[in-house]
Structure 1
Amino acid sequence: MDSLIAVAARALAAGDALGALNCVALRDDAHALALRGIAMAQLGDLPRARTLLRSAARAFGPKQPLARARCVVAEAEVALASRDLRAADPSFEAAWATLEACGDRLNAVHARCLEARRLLLMGRPDDAERALGKDPSGPLPAALRASRALLAAGIALRRLQATTARDALAIAAQAARESGIASLTAEVEHAALALAAPAARLIERGRSRNVTLEQVQALSSAKRLIVDACRYVVRESNVTISLASRPVLFALVCMLAEAWPEDVPRQTLIAKAFRAKLIDETHRARLRVEIGRLRALMKPIADVTATKGGFALMPASAHEVAVLGRLFDEKHAAVLALLADGESWSSSALAVASGASQRSVQRALDALASEDKVQAVGDGRARRWMTPPVVGFATTLLLPTPWSTE
């Protein structure tokens, strides 16, 4: 490769997009198009970046499969930065296989990281861990080590493994400092702040306090029955009962757990679980039916007993009962949590990541926009949603492996 291409590639590896453009801005050969596409991605012009990378892939053609595969993987990363969470298309999978077959180990590892990050954004940590694979046998560049460690931390956070996440972030911080890439260092610092920040609200024996993820992990190791209002499950030790598809039953167990060890009056249970204003005998009959269903589901870890005034939760072996709730009673918390990464999302991508219908997501976005909590950019199919940005900062895209044109 010629000297200008080599200089531009080194500039991109160091995060200097403007320096790379100074070398290749006026060139339209395949290598220059690819480098310009990556530079535009780092500067935040993602549509232009995808166009340039597609042009570069066509310019390389079938006679240069390795270079073409690198362009396809780079375009997949731009799509991920655009929050296009659709399943990996055959061209990406074929490019990934080409990189591995041709011995381009670093870019193949990078492709694994991209797929793992997509799966993690969709809330599938087990699939993300499988996609990430085992640690590579050979040495990796510092930026790629940091990227893998960040992914490992993200998987651990999804699993409420605070200690594992902290260890992974320490590795990521060291690697980010070695890379010298400011955006990468900032990403690691942001993840560390998120780990140290309050993650949930704990209600125990009528008292409420905010807890961090490490404190949540400590709760899980104790003899406690935990009603998790963030994940809609009830768990004790190694037993987990999901009530995500049973909202009435979850509302009942949540009220019983918040009141424990006291009971909850029947009228209160009916009014809150059934949202009934005028209570009659049909509501009381329904309550008895729902309590019977709850007893059957909770049998391995607890019982629901009738008292003179209402019903009470009776753990089978746990000594304490606690409720983990969201920090804020935000109706559209799931959408806000996805937008908290600062990137722009389409409503379809938010629907894929949250598991809700696109129409439900659109209603949530409209409600949040009316409260100035989110804002829209663009019109029609190009419309994207994001939280109000910090003035003076543009979206950046981290490409953790040096671009190679050999």
Structure 2
Amino acid sequence: MDSLITAAGRALAAGDPLGALKRVALRDDAPALALRGIAMAQLGDLERAKALLKSAARAFSPKEAVARARCVVAEAEIALVSRDLGWPQKALRTARATLQGHGDRVNAAYAGSLEARRLILIGRLDEAERLLAGFDPTPLPPVARVAHELAAAGIAVRRLRTKAARAALGRAALAAYEANIPALTTEVENASLVLKMPAARLIAQGSERLLLLEEVEALLASQALVVDACRNVVREAGAVVQLATRPVLFALARTLAEAWPADASREALLRRAFRARHADESHRARLRVEMGRLRAELGAFAEINATAQGFELAPRRAREVVVLAPPVEEEHGAVLAFLADGESWSSSALAIALGASARTVQRALEELSGQHKVQPVGRGRARRWMTPPMPAFPTVLLLPGPLPSD
């Protein structure tokens, strides 16, 4: 074993990329290229890191399958941090299978954590949960445990399981402390902020207030009738009526809920649902039709009664009607929500995460840029978008152990 390669690998595992570069910066053999690539990634030069890792993967012989697979895992983490959601996940799955087949349990587990975190970003929580289910990270080194626990926390947060999220983040913080890598500790601390920041607004009886994530969880578990503007659904005691594909009906339901226990005027309903400034008889006729459809959808939850001024919502069982709305509501709010994680996103990655067309996302980014709410970095295909100011890059990449065939 090359002593300089071993020393450089240990420096990277300890979060010291400069120390690793001092040992291998002038070498162009495959193990040195791989270690230089990871060091450059830790220092934030992702383009150079990707080029070095690709060169390393080509330089390793076909017999050195484990080393090549580790390079793929490192490339996958760079893609995740770069929000390159179009990066070929099949390559990561193949690398994970190779690592498992050769007994490299640590890097195989890390590859699984990366795949789960990508699935979480694009909202495929069931797949991410299945990927992590039944896996015990306890025997893993601290850095790998942090990756696993951050993925588990991400799923728990999106499932509104704040107790499980807090426990996973606590385990991640303990593992980061054991690893004694400041950048890793910072990453866990940043992930933990989601439990301390407003997650939604509660609108009820003419007033509103911000809610933390655990308060949202408690609200959805209560007996209140909740018109959820974060998901465009209506909820009560675990039962859900989906209105995400019926925006007019949801707009009417929200207007009625915001007015409860009073009635909502026809003018207010027409403005919210049809954006009609001056209502005529055709608008009023359509309002009656849509109200009939909403009655059918919410029949198990509430009655909708006509009044002299408009319509009122009368819950059947719930004692309270509330609206759960995003913390900030504005045009292109979903784009801003993804950019709020502090990372740089490409327009194509945002389109994948939002389930929207690339052109729609590009128009939104251009409008937000004109309002100085987002800023572009780079040009052409390398252009990324982020919220100013530009944050630091704390993620630690893992490629432990000897790189040549062993």
Tell me the distance in 2 between the aligned counterparts of 1:76 and 1:352: 17
Taking the TM superposition and a 5 Å limit, the aligned residue runs for 1:146-295 are: 146-295=146-295
Q: Is the 8 A contact 2:305 2:313 kept in 1?
A: yes
Q: 2: distance between equivalents of 1:96 and 1:285? A: 60
Summarize deviations over 1:157-186 as a string: whole Å, max 9, x none: 111222221111111111111111111111
Please tell me whether residue 42 in structure 1 is matched to residue 42 in structure 2: yes
Match in the other structure for 1:142:
142
2:60 is matched by which residue type in structure 1?
F
Structure 1 residue 138, shift from structure 2 partner: 5.9
SS of alignment partner, residue 284 of structure 1: helix
Larger CA deviation: 86-95 vs 178-187:
86-95
Aligned runs of 1:306-345 on 2, under 5 Å?
Answer: 306-345=306-345
Shift of 1:239: 0.7
Whether the 8 Å contact between 2:33 and 2:52 is mirrored in structure 1 is: yes
TM-score by length of 2: 0.96
1:397 Cα shift?
3.0
**1:300 partner amino acid:** A
Aligned to 1:26: 26
Q: CA 1:87/1:29 → structure 2, altered by over 3 Å: closer, same or farther?
A: closer
Which residue type is aligned with residue 340 of structure 1? A
Give the number of aligned pairs.
404
Distance 1:346 1:87 in 2: 12
- 1:395 equivalent in alignment to 2:396: no
Contact 2:41 2:397 in 1 (8 A): no
- 1:360-375 residue pairs with structure 2 within 5 A? 360-375=360-375
CA shift, 1:120, in A, is 0.7
Worse overlay, 111-120 or 190-199: 190-199
**Preserved contact between residue 88 and residue 115 of structure 1 (Cα < 8 Å):** no
Cα distance in 2, alignment partners of residues 137 and 325 from structure 1: 36
C-alpha distance in structure 2 between counterparts of 1:216 and 1:89, whole Å:
34
Aligned-residue identity in percent: 60
Alignment match, 1:298: 298
* Distance (whole Å) between structure 1 residues aligned to residue 336 and residue 208 of structure 2: 23
| CA deviations over 1:11-46 (Å, ceiling 9, x no partner) | 111111111111100111111011011111111111
TM-score, with length taken from structure 1: 0.96
Segments of 4+ moved more than 4 angstroms = none
What is the rounded CA distance, in whole Å, between the counterparts of 1:337 and 1:112 in structure 2? 26
8 Å Cα contact 1:144-1:401 kept in structure 2: no
RMSD: 1.5
For 1:39 and 1:28, the matched residues in 2 are separated by 14
1:125 paired residue number: 125
Q: Secondary structure at the residue paired with 1:198?
A: coil
Cα gap change, 1:5/1:90 in structure 2, threshold over 3 Å: closer, same or farther? same
Contact 1:43 1:394 in 2 (8 A): no
In 2, distance between residues paired with 1:375 and 1:295?
A: 45
Contact 1:243/1:249 (8 A) holds in 2 = yes
